Structure 1
Amino acid sequence: MIFGNIQNSMLEGELSLMPKPLSDAICFLKDHDMAAHEPGVFQLELSGVPMTLQVLDLNTAPRESLRPEIHRKNIDVQFLASGGPEEAGFYSDDGTGIVDEDLLDTPRDILFYQNKEAAPEGRIRLIPGSFAIYFPWDVHIPAIWTGSSPAPIRKIVIKVPLKSCLTEHPSQESVL
């Protein structure tokens, strides 16, 4: 997982360490007013890599009402464009999660786990401009409320194909 903010003075250095498709996605978010973008699902191409852009208007919710999720074919670049704040839970997928719903073989490329009280879950707090990048081994729980009531958020998700980040090291794909 990578966590940052597009306003960070060291963003350029952070981006230089990322695979180009991920840095392109962050630059797209930085260079476009995503708070003003119409909601929906859109196809996007950055530097020749096809990606999916989701613009979602949601409300944060209590942690216990949300399910942990993972993706296998895509890397999720999640961005808080407005509203919030929002917390997101995360932990490493150790293979012990109990599957609640498996949609990995659908265009959504998502698997939901049942909540596991013993999961070593960490938290990050997102404010507008914050981004989190979740890899296939990162279980994540977005849209957690920070207090005791829901907050509206404009959440942007760019789905970056995992394969596009492995082109320099194709042998790594078999590891996943």
Structure 2
Amino acid sequence: MILGSLNNWKQDRKFAHPALADVLDRLEKIPFRELENGKHPVRGEDIFFTIMELEAKDPAEAKAEKHERYIDVHFLLEGAETVGWSVDNGKSAVTEHSPEGDYTLFEPAAEEERLRLTPGMYAVFFPEDIHRPGLRSEGGEAASPIRKAVFKISTALFEKA
């Protein structure tokens, strides 16, 4: 998992894999405000993103997830979002698995960490990262609106390098 901000991206770029750098370089260039919600291609099925709007959920109502074929890059556009994160240690209870949909859902891990994202921040989740996006903040009673872009990068791009 990587947590970062566009404010520091220019300094951090030298440490990134080329496929990840390609996506993060685009974050400042894509006119997200002009784009509608939904799927947007970048490089076919190798790299694409989805813009979505959602209401932050109560953590008690949210499942955790992970993906095998794609690396997720969550980029917060508006609102405030808390994301639960833990490493898949093989002990989390699986509630649903869909190889076709590239997801596995889990009950939240007891050792889950909470990451707080504000606009301009990004979080990168690799196949071993269980994450629970779209949570409202600790003690947050009311649902709050979130607008974000979630990029999908095929793991095959990482295996080729």
RMSD value over aligned CA atoms?
Answer: 1.5
Shift of 1:51: 1.1
Instruction: Give SS of 1:27's match.
Output: helix
Instruction: Give SS of 1:54's match.
Output: strand
Matched, 1:162 2:155: yes
Matched, 1:4 2:1: no
Cα deviation, 1:61-105, whole Å, max 9, x if unaligned, reads 1111110100011100001011x21111101100112211111x2
Asked if the contact 1:2/1:132 (under 8 Å) is kept, the reply is yes
Residue 2 of structure 2 aligns with an amino acid whose one-letter code is I
Shift of 1:18: 1.1
Asked if the contact 1:15/1:23 (under 8 Å) is kept, the reply is yes
Q: For residues 95-174 of structure 1, what are the structure 2 equivalents within 5 Å?
A: 95-103=90-98, 105-106=99-100, 108-116=101-109, 119-146=110-137, 147-168=140-161
Shift of 1:12: 1.7
1:53 to 33, 49, 52: 49
Shift of 1:49: 7.9
Cα deviation, 1:120-158, whole Å, max 9, x if unaligned, reads 111111111110000000100111101111111111111
TM value normalised by structure 2? 0.92
Identity of aligned residues (%): 29
Residue 133 of structure 1 aligns with an amino acid whose one-letter code is V
Matched, 1:63 2:59: yes
Cα distance in structure 1, aligned partners of 2:123 and 2:46 = 20
Q: Which runs of 5+ in 2 are unaligned?
A: none
Residue 103 of structure 2 aligns with an amino acid whose one-letter code is I
Residue 66 of structure 1 aligns with an amino acid whose one-letter code is A
Q: Which residue of 1 aligns with 2:36?
A: 38
Cα distance in structure 2, aligned partners of 1:5 and 1:143 = 18
Q: Which residue of 1 aligns with 2:27?
A: 29
TM value normalised by structure 1? 0.85
Instruction: Give SS of 2:32's match.
Output: coil
Q: What is the number of residues matched between the two proteins?
A: 159
Cα distance in structure 2, aligned partners of 1:161 and 1:58 = 25
Matched, 1:86 2:81: yes
